[in-house]
Copies of this chain bind each other. A is one copy, B any other.
Amino acid sequence: MPRNILLLPGDGIGPEIVAEAEKVLRKVNDDFKLDLHFESALVGGAALDEHDDPLPDETLDKGRKADAILLGAVGGPKWDGLPMAKRPEKGLLGLRSNLELFANLRPAILYPQLASASSLKPEVVSGLDIMIVRELTGGIYFGQPRGIRNLEHGERQGYNTYAYTESEIRRIGRVAFETAQQRGKKLCSVDKANVLEVTVMWREIMEDLKREYPDVELTHMYVDNAAMQLVRAPKQFDVIVTGNMFGDILSDEAAMLTGSIGMLPSASLNSDKQGMYEPCHGSAPDIAGQGIANPLATILSAAMMLRYSLDEEEAAQAIEAAVSKVLDQGLRTADIMSEDGKKVSTREMGEAVLSAL
């Protein structure tokens, strides 16, 4: 069965890292006879430069038709001064919302080979394996009304709306409970139910769902406490579920606990299992074009794509095993370099994964 993969290199280091992940995907495509077909398109700043639009119709069309999307990263100082509608990030947000990619899965895993990269003490993070399930198409990112208005007495007011409907909460809740069922069966729902009404309803619905998943232990935590607990004792968590904004903050905090965010992939799925896959790190404009970025998070995102959208578990595991092998070989890009590592470029890392496959 032929499947279409859309490659969206995007901005900054995006093109460099997606190029390596593409090679890896093409190799497993041949090895495992996956019948994958590749297209590519512009998004973010790259699309702004070319079409004055961070999400051109052509890109969105191709996205709709694709079985899965592999994205590099978007954004950079070049486009920072632009009005909201013309920001690279709008390309990313537009894809998420138009394709209804409401379920964002962000693992925070500490690779044993990279344990020393963490700023936390080894005993606090060794063996860390958390999955953050972030709602991605609702909440304050998309709530209406929003904008900047003139008040009667002459000054301006900026405003955004943090809103969720019951069904939006329910569908992300189900993904989280199911994810927990396949893992350690512990789900922590993060909210600010002592202050925000929208999260009072969030908590209610999570409690309601619990009855359908009796094998999963559900707890609740306020977001400020969650931000603390991730620092204090991150291994207490198995799966965390939360809204778009809190998920943005906590998933980045959790990723950084590993000290090697250049290793962490992510998946954004809709209810048809169509998905967009991207590294957790950003476009890193400061090192773009130098050939030193770490392509492993993008390569691991390709593995997630094979697992979640294409049902090719074997190929996914082959990639993950290959990545583990290159780490065992001591190969390190600059961001994860350690004393006894062998420093390699983006391309050399990609080639090493290819050989390890």
Contact = CB atoms under 8 A, between A and B. Distances in A.
- Which secondary structure dominates where chain A touches chain B? helix
B156 A201 contact: yes
A167 B140 contact: no
A199 B147 CA distance: 10
The complex is assembled from copies of this chain, and their number is 2
A164 B146 CA distance: 12
A201 B155 CA distance: 12
Contacts of A261: 228
Interface in A261-303: 261
B162 A89 contact: no
A151 B84 CA distance: 29
Contacts of A166: 155-157
A252 interface: yes
B248 A224 contact: yes
Contacts of A256: 227-229, 231-232
Contact of A162 (B140, B151, B200): B140
B161 A165 contact: no
Contacts of A167: 155
Interface string A226-259: 0111111100000000000110111111011101
A2 interface: no
Size class of A's contact patch?
A: 35 or more
A182 interface: no
- The 6 closest A-B CB pairs, nearest first, are A158-B198, A158-B201, A228-B256, A159-B163, A227-B253, A224-B252
14 contacts: A84-B200, A89-B194, A93-B195, A119-B233, A121-B121, A140-B140, A146-B197, A156-B166, A156-B201, A158-B164, A158-B198, A158-B202, A225-B252, A231-B257
Contacts of A249: 223-224, 227, 246, 249
Which of A75, A165, A228, A231 has most B Cβ within 10 Å?
A231
A157 B162 contact: no
Given A157-B165, A158-B164, A89 B253 contact: no
